[in-house]
Amino acid sequence: AAELEYESVLCVKPDVNVYRIPPRTSNRGYRASDWKLDHPDWTGRLRVTSKGKTAYIKLEDKVSGELFAQAPIDQYPGIAVETVADSSRYFVIRIQDGTGRSAFIGIGFTDRGDAFDFNVSLQDHFKWVKQETEISKESQEADTRPKLDLGFKEGQTIKLNIGNMTTKKGGAAKPRASGSGGLSLLPPPPGGKTAVPPIPPPSSTAIANHVTPPPVQKSANASGADILLDLDAPASASKAPVPATTDLWGDFSTASSAVPNQAPQQSNWVQF
């Protein structure tokens, strides 16, 4: 598994100074003021890489890229990388060679931003290592737990009760929404009254098409029903004039005038 892991670059800084530091005499920590800061022992390039869960601080030549020293880091903060008490731009790292020998040296950055990036790259890497460890631990615990069998046994059934799905028989049917070809009327508002559409007046065409019966000579003893039938005459009088002979009262005037005309005829009878 270690051979399949690939190496990734976390941080690269082109300028770093390396100092040979004196042994620590107390537990108060390292101080950069005890070093010869104006005369670094070596100057080169720093590169922080990771392979699996292990990070590496590599000191390389600026031109050729030849490895000067490297410090494997299994934990941060820890003994492999320590900060100094009097500055944030200097650190103490533990370098190791292939034979198992180790030594402590001091490194420093001219720019404070480079020191900040170096510190953050190590923090982010080991934060990821911590998360991966927790995830793998949880997965192992989940594998050891007894698994629950939630499947249906043979012959086992389940009943679903869906609400608001039952309808009452004989209930009033809901009005259907009319389609595009029908006329839909909205219901009247609450408390309002529905207006009755007015009856349209008869058109002139209907009046013209009305057929008026020919006038009938009315006698003196005409029935009242015939008189009532002529009450419809004024409606058609506006279109066709009524002759004088259609006057209901003409017969009475004729009868009254006939009486005096007969009187002279009686005078022509045999006179005694």
Q: Tell me, what CATH number does 39's domain have? A: 2.30.29.30
Say how many domains are in the chain.
1
Q: pTM score, two decimals?
A: 0.51
Domain that holds residue 22: 7-135
> Which CB contacts under 8 angstroms, 24+ apart, belong to 88-91?
88/112, 88/115, 88/116, 89/32, 89/115, 90/32, 90/35, 90/115, 91/115, 91/118
Query: Is residue 189 in some structural domain?
Result: no
User: Over its length of 272 residues, how does the chain's per-residue pLDDT go in tens digits?
Assistant: 445 578 899 999 999 999 999 887 777 788 888 888 889 999 999 999 999 889 999 999 988 889 999 999 998 888 899 999 888 999 999 999 878 789 999 999 999 999 999 999 999 999 999 998 888 888 777 667 677 777 777 888 888 888 776 555 555 555 555 555 555 566 666 665 555 566 666 555 545 455 555 555 554 444 444 544 445 545 444 444 545 455 555 555 554 444 454 444 455 555 54
Query: Is residue 55 in some structural domain?
Result: yes
Query: Is residue 242 in some structural domain?
Result: no
Distance separating alpha carbons of residues 73 and 54, to the nearest angstrom? 6
Query: Is residue 49 in some structural domain?
Result: yes
Distance separating alpha carbons of residues 88 and 112, to the nearest angstrom? 7
Query: Is residue 251 in some structural domain?
Result: no
pLDDT of residue 186: 66
In three-state secondary structure terms, 150 is coil
Query: Is residue 107 in some structural domain?
Result: yes
Query: Is residue 80 in some structural domain?
Result: yes
Query: Is residue 54 in some structural domain?
Result: yes
Cα end-to-end span (Å), the chain: 173
pLDDT of residue 238: 47
